[in-house]
A and B are shown apart, each in its own frame.
Chain A
Amino acid sequence: MTHLTRRRFGALAGASALALSSPALLRAQTAGRLVVIGGGFGGASAARFARIHYPDVSVTLVEPWDRFITCPYGNLILGGMKTLADITHSYDGLRARGVEVIHDRATAIDPESHRVRLEGGTELDYDKLILSPGIALRWGAIEGYDEAAAGIFPHAWMGGDGSQITLLRQQIEALPEGGVVGLAIPANPFRCPPGPYERISMIAHYLKQANPTAKILAFDAKEGFSKQGLFQDAWAELYGDMIEWVPSNQDGRIVRVDPANRLFVSEFGTEHRVDVGNVIPPQYAAAIARDSGLADESGWVPVDPRSFAARMAPDIHVIGDASLASPLPKSGFMANSTAKIAVAAALAELTGSAPPADPVYFNTCYSHAGEDYAFSVVGIFRPAEDGFAETPDSGGTSPRGPLAEMAETRALEAEYADAWYASITQDMFS
């Protein structure tokens, strides 16, 4: 027995004696310690859900940033429809509910001793850990694309301090008349599958008014993408020939960038000069997940489909974009949905009861393609024999059709998308 365990057992035994003499002390959250790493769609939803439904469990949330800037709706900043303030959220609501929020970066997890070390030196003991750290960018996976290059060719694919999306917006505003905006889009899997295409749409929405002779060249490492028909219909209907999408089978995969000379270089050596370059590089799970030995060779974390327990460490539940859970998309709604099942499973185990029976994982992703013009994809997923499966004959994308017939539906979905954003951020932070 280690010193640590002995010390903790002593503390717990004390708590037990107190609880016996005073049931009110149950509200002192003595039933266990849940630590949540990452305050985004997965982590904030998990912390809030646990705080509301498990009053006897203490909940600590570790998040480096002192406010959260969402990736969803970030593209609307590019379109001029939203500001950074509109998509910035405070952790005060979670604090008011009794979540202990620590603004620090988790640097190490010891699954054996159930302990998390933070950059600032703090060490946290946990009974159950929810790990929702998000993604990291694979610097260097595209030759020449490192952190310095992101100062010239922004990725704007992580909220962070908002500087990346702000930089991209400024660059697009400063685009020379008739200039070229280039995007490099990765192969699957990556965060927010329809995100790059919503981004293309929102940039086009802005340029149509501000710089109508500008061009958008979207280079893709794939041959197809999420909601492709709907996006391409919208591009043709709304933006004429402003947008050109170049799939991988037409040499669309960008393998090298040269920010100083503003060049994208394709797999077969074609050089494309761009005035603004948005490079969305390949991704993997955030460092804390990989450094803790939870990820497999793919760089993502394999999980149990009923509990999101990491295959490599069953007391650590890994949710959100860091998990390897195909066909579940790496989306904010998916992270929110899986967060609650993971919390229920983790805390059921802590109390010695059965995990949630027959969990259902739910996703709806809205994309804005223009003003009053949005559409969606719905997915309902369940645990399968060796992973996850989409429920047959359900979900899917909004119907296609000529704008004259579909205008009302597209406008309604734009309104519902706004309601989604308001609802889901309340479900995380209120």
Chain B
Amino acid sequence: MNARFHRAAMTAVLLAAGAAQAEPSSGLLLAQPCAGCHGQDGAGQGATPAIAGLDREAFLEAWAAFRADARPATVMNRITKGYTEEEAALLADHFASLQ
């Protein structure tokens, strides 16, 4: 009861404020783990290459090659097989949009 009342109060605040909160896109959420190795926003880290600003087509071409075991890899061949084509496209769009 208290929690519900409180939530209603919160919603009132947000509505009053015009709900300015921009939620992270699915592409941004999907891309989060990439920062675990490729540096912040895909900027590259040590031996791990930068992927920020990579052309969309180049990203997808590399992705497909990893996925088909047609490009030398350590982990990317195993990683790419865990995502759908739609998800790969979201990732490509996301990293293409970063500088």
Binding site for B on A (CB under 8 A): 1-2, 4-5, 8-9, 12-13, 15-17, 19-20, 23, 26, 30-32, 49, 53-54, 56-57, 112-114, 127, 315, 333, 336-337, 340-341, 344, 347-348, 350-353, 356-360, 362, 364, 376, 378, 380, 391, 393-396, 398, 409, 412-413, 415-416, 418-420, 422-424, 426-427, 430
Contact = CB atoms under 8 A, between A and B. Distances in A.
A420 B37 contact: yes
A409 B82 CA distance: 21
Contacts of A391: 81-83
A114 B46 CA distance: 43
B30 A360 contact: yes
A5 B45 contact: no
Closest 10 CB pairs of A and B: A380-B82, A394-B82, A362-B33, A419-B46, A394-B81, A415-B47, A419-B48, A19-B17, A378-B78, A391-B82
Contacts of A15: 13
A127 B6 contact: yes
Contacts of B14: 31, 351-352
Contact of B40 (A353, A376, A426): A426
Interface residues of B, number: 43
Contacts of B39: 419, 422-423, 426
A322 B14 CA distance: 32
A43 to B, nearest CB: 16
B74 interface: yes
Interface in B25-61: 26, 28-30, 32-33, 35-40, 45-48
Contact of A418 (B3, B20, B46): B46
A127 B10 contact: yes
A10 to B, nearest CB: 10
Contacts of A20: 16-17
Nearest to B5: A5
B63 to A, nearest CB: 13
Contacts of A333: 33, 36
A384 to B, nearest CB: 14
Contacts of A54: 21
Contact of A344 (B2, B5, B7, B24): B24
B3 A114 contact: yes
B36 A364 contact: yes
B45 A419 contact: yes
B79 interface: yes
Q: Main SS of chain B's interface residues?
A: helix
B78 A394 contact: yes
A420 B24 contact: no
B47 A353 contact: no
B9 interface: yes
24 contacts: A5-B5, A12-B10, A19-B16, A19-B17, A31-B17, A53-B28, A333-B33, A336-B33, A351-B14, A352-B11, A356-B26, A356-B29, A360-B30, A380-B79, A394-B79, A394-B82, A395-B79, A396-B78, A418-B47, A419-B47, A422-B39, A423-B35, A427-B40, A430-B40
A30 B17 contact: yes
B46 A422 contact: yes
B23 A353 contact: yes
A137 to B, nearest CB: 27
A161 B87 CA distance: 41
B70 interface: no
A163 B75 CA distance: 34
A32 to B, nearest CB: 6
A11 to B, nearest CB: 9
Nearest to A420: B37
A8 B74 CA distance: 53
B48 A359 contact: no
A398 B74 CA distance: 7
